[in-house]
Amino acid sequence: MNLFGKILVALNLVMSLVFMSFAVAVYSTHQNWRDVVQRPKDQASEPTKPVGLVYQVEDLMLKNDQLVKKIESLRAEIAQEARLKNVRLALLETQKVELEKQIAAKAQEIQAITADKQMTSANIEKLTVEVGKKSADIEKLTLEVANKNDEIQRKHEDVVRLTNQLSQLGTELAKLQNQVKVLVAKQTPATQTSGAVADAAAPKLEGIVRAATNDLVEISLGSDDGVARGQTMYVYRPGATAAATKLIGRIEILQTTADVSVGRILEDYRKGIIEKDDRVATRFN
């Protein structure tokens, strides 16, 4: 056998091996396509094999329908959310416009308040200056008033002192007048024998009530003035005019000293309550 024959034999052998391999491969990969397509879901003999393609397609179509419905639902929700978002945006836009108006109004108010504050601050500064001036004037006037009050107090004290002196001088003058009347009476001729005529010619004695109780009265006239025990005197309260002068009663002298006498109030002649500084006299006319 020549070389060409050997080559052909070898090729036949190789081709045989190849074809045998193909047969083995085809046999190993051979499937029942009907079983693959229509294998039922509840096949118990071969639980490991997948369900038929028909049923897989049905499951996928069912899932697809569910997904489509879910997508439509989600799209509806998205559309609803979009509408709500638009409504909220419109509302927020309206609120924004209102807030901008309020901000503008508040800005105007702030400007007005700032202007008023500046004006008020200027007025306060002006008033502060005026108050300072007024305070200085008040302090000056207060000092002047205090000086005037001191001066008035001194004048009042002088008036009181002079009034007391005048009262003392008036009392002394009344005593001197009474003494002069007594001396004149002693020098009068004894030709007057009638009691009524003698009383009319006798000098009029006048004094003041120094103290008084319900029954007794102390007067500023004594024996040096011509007052004698048993003598009666009138008690009156002087007024602004003669018509306003009021007769209060009469007293009877019980005891005398040189310049003071004590008398008893005669109830039959009492016309009022005798008080200190009332006047007494031997005649009331």
Domain boundaries, the chain: 205-281
Rounded to the nearest angstrom, the gap between the alpha carbon of residue 74 and the centroid of all alpha carbons in its chain is 66
Structure confidence at residue 160 (pLDDT): 81
A 10 A CB-CB count for 82 gives 10
SS3 for 249-273 is EEEEEEEECCCCEEEEECHHHCCCC
| C-alpha torsion sign, points 78, 79, 82, 87 | negative
Residue at 56: amino acid letter: Q
- The β-bridge relationship of strands 279-281 and 206-212 is antiparallel
Structure confidence at residue 195 (pLDDT): 42
Rounded-to-integer distance, Cα 271 and Cα 235, Å: 10
Structure confidence at residue 235 (pLDDT): 95
Structure confidence at residue 19 (pLDDT): 78
Structure confidence at residue 193 (pLDDT): 39
Mean pLDDT by groups of 10 residues along the chain of 285 residues: 73 81 65 62 59 75 89 90 91 92 91 88 87 86 88 85 77 72 58 42 81 93 91 92 89 93 93 92 85
Rounded-to-integer distance, Cα 113 and Cα 90, Å: 34
Q: Are 248 and 236 in contact (CB under 8 A)?
A: yes
Structure confidence at residue 30 (pLDDT): 54
Residue at 144: amino acid letter: E
Question: Does pTM top 0.75 for this prediction?
Answer: no
Rounded-to-integer distance, Cα 44 and Cα 48, Å: 9
Structure confidence at residue 249 (pLDDT): 94
Local structure of residue 222 (DSSP, 8 states): -
Closest CA to 156 of 203, 211, 194, 164: 164
- The β-bridge relationship of strands 246-256 and 261-265 is antiparallel
**CB burial class (10 A; 0-12, 13-18, 19+) of residue 90?**
exposed
Rounded-to-integer distance, Cα 96 and Cα 85, Å: 16
Closest CA to 217 of 282, 285, 279: 279
Tokens of 277: 């500084």
pLDDT digit string (tens) for 19-50? 777 776 666 565 555 666 666 666 545 556 66
Tokens of 129: 């200056």
Structure confidence at residue 190 (pLDDT): 42
For residue 220, the SS3 value is coil
CATH superfamily of 205-281: Rod shape-determining protein MreC, domain 1 (2.40.10.340)
Place of tokens 């008035």: 152
